[in-house]
Amino acid sequence: MSVIQAAALVVVALAGTAVVLVPEPRRQAIVAGLFGLSLAVLFLLFQAPDVALAQIAVAGVGLPAMLLLALARLDEGDEE
Amino acid sequence: MSRRLRGLLFLPLGAAVFAGLVAATAGLPDFGHGTSEYGEWVADNMVGARGTTNVVAPVVFDLRAFDTVGEELILFAAAAACALLLRTLVSEEGERRLRELPAVDVPPVRALARLLVAPVVVLGAYVVAHGAITPGGGFQGGVILSSLALVLVGAGRAALARREGTTTGVELAEAVGAGAFVLLGIGGLVFATAAFENFLGPGTPGDLVSGGIIPLANVAVGIEVAAAFALIFVELIQSGAEGGDG
Amino acid sequence: MSVLPFVVAAWLFVVGVYGVVTSRHLVQLVVCLTVAQASTYLLLLGIGYRHGATAPIFKDVPASTPVVDPVVQALTLTDVVVETTVAALLLALTLQVKRRFGTVDPDELTAMRD
């Protein structure tokens, strides 16, 4: 287990904790995107480029876009 | 039970679960020293037997193709259910407001989005096509292609997302992708002995056309994943949260 | 040190479930669920890793190089994409809940059943 892998694991653990502890949903969407990208770096360090590609695409684009769109729709309902 | 009480109650239970999970993994081989006969057999033989240099692709689309078709149908069902749920939310009021919403008109965003359309298409198609050779494949390339829905909205073409024909076209593409994959499985039944058996020859490893049905399966999955995610994005853009009556 | 990946996987799972238990907003619940799902990816890839081995792509290395386990990568790969779609389904359910009950606070939703 190399030093970089251990460091990446610690970063992932911290990012996961940060995602859970952020209070506001909009900010949490951004932190969730960062958590996903840190996971993708970890997957690359574990010699899994296929999985890292999927994770980058999904957590960088897919999940934050869905979250922010859903949040926008929810707030639209509040304005009425 | 208040939220704080729930949180406090969870802490000892969470610690116990954490300790239990760590203790459970203590029986695993050391990190980096595990062995897997199946994995080693795949790594040793798939280049010759299936002609693909990416040995993860034959595991996904050839050896464990039943698993993949199941996952793909989960994706299909989830996207369809999502579309169903979101469509019941569109009300008269919501539709009127949607038509009057202006498209994105921040010039730098529009310019950047317009510049991005071609590279995204090329990158997505490249990742899908080279699934059998390099890291990539239908799932990754499909998600990349689906971001076109967002890029087009950023380019000021939000009207595309609102038109009736768009959802029909996207749904058609999703059905074509899922059906093509299932047809490949049936092709295995027809042309070879078992469903999803690789009935085309392996070809030369490293060529674009190699690995038998694997590039075709990649294209089918790519179309389906791209359409499913694009459907979700388009439905989220189209729906409104406030309802007519309750 | 060699159990660190599994410890981090267990930690992510527990932290994710803690987030689900103490969430104030249904969208937060979905995001914390995503964190818990990430623990399974980490566990699978941690099992498949081989010390000193490289990625299972033989395009530019000879076919006899030791590689990490490709089977677990195949499992995790489809998993990542499909579970995001399931998260989208949960978000659609959240929008429906907002429409029917007017709130997305899990605590208030529990109270409404009385």
State the pLDDT at residue A80: 47
Q: Is A17 within 8 Å of C15 (Cβ atoms)?
A: yes
| pLDDT band at residue B245 under the 50/70/90 scheme | very low
State the pLDDT at residue B1: 66
Task: Kindly determine whether residue A66 and residue B139, on different chains, have CB atoms separated by under 8 Å.
Answer: no
Distance from CA of C86 to the nearest CA of B (A): 6
Cα distance between residue A62 and residue A69, in whole Å: 11
Can you give the length of chain C in residues?
114
Q: Is B58 within 8 Å of B52 (Cβ atoms)?
A: yes
Angle at CA C84, nearest 5°, toward A34 and B16? 75
Q: If you average pLDDT over residues C5-29, what whole number do you get? A: 92
Residues from chain A contacting residue C94 (CB–CB below 8 Å): 70, 74
- Tell me which residue has tokens 């996987």: C9
Q: Which of A13-17, A22-26, B92-96, B151-155 shows the lowest mean pLDDT across its residues?
A: B92-96
Helix, strand or coil, per DSSP, at residue C106 = helix
Q: Is B181 within 8 Å of B69 (Cβ atoms)?
A: yes
Q: If you average pLDDT over residues B13-18, what whole number do you get? A: 92
Q: If you average pLDDT over residues B165-169, what whole number do you get? A: 77
Residue A31 pLDDT exceeds 90: yes
Please list, residue by residue across B81-112, b when 16 or more beta carbons sit within 10 angstroms of its beta carbon and e when fewer do: bbbebbeebbbeebeeebeeeeeeeeeeebee
For chains B and C, what is the number of CB pairs under 8 angstroms?
A: 177
- Nearest CB among C21, C47, C92 relative to B82 is that of C92
Q: Report the percentage of chain B scoring pLDDT > 70.
A: 87
Q: Which of A25-39, B52-66, B195-209, C1-15 shows the lowest mean pLDDT across its residues?
A: B195-209
Distance of CA A26 to the CA centre of its chain: 13
Q: If you average pLDDT over residues C100-112, what whole number do you get? A: 76
| pLDDT band at residue C27 under the 50/70/90 scheme | very high
Residue A27 pLDDT exceeds 50: yes
State the pLDDT at residue A33: 94
Task: Kindly determine whether residue A47 and residue C67, on different chains, have CB atoms separated by under 8 Å.
Answer: yes
Identify the H or E element spanning B148.
Answer: helix B148-154
| pLDDT band at residue B124 under the 50/70/90 scheme | very high
Q: Report the percentage of chain B scoring pLDDT > 90.
A: 18
Residues from chain C contacting residue A48 (CB–CB below 8 Å): 45, 48, 55, 68, 73, 76
Distance from CA of C16 to the nearest CA of B (A): 10
Distance from CA of B59 to the nearest CA of C (A): 6
Is the torsion defined by CA of B104, B108, B110, B113 positive or negative?
A: negative
What DSSP assignment string belongs to B34-90?
A: ---HHHHHHHHHHHHHH--SBTHHHIIIIITHHHHHHHHHHHHHHHHHHHHHHHTT-
State ipTM. 0.89
Cα distance between residue B85 and residue B182, in whole Å: 26
Structure tokens at B80: 């369809």
Phi-psi region of C66 (alpha: psi -120 to 50; beta: other; left: phi over 0): beta
Structure tokens at B237: 């853009």
pTM of the predicted model as reported, rounded to 2 decimal places? 0.89
State the pLDDT at residue C49: 87
Task: Kindly determine whether residue C89 and residue B75, on different chains, have CB atoms separated by under 8 Å.
Answer: no
Task: Kindly determine whether residue A74 and residue C76, on different chains, have CB atoms separated by under 8 Å.
Answer: no
Q: Which residue has the higher pLDDT, B155 or A55?
A: A55
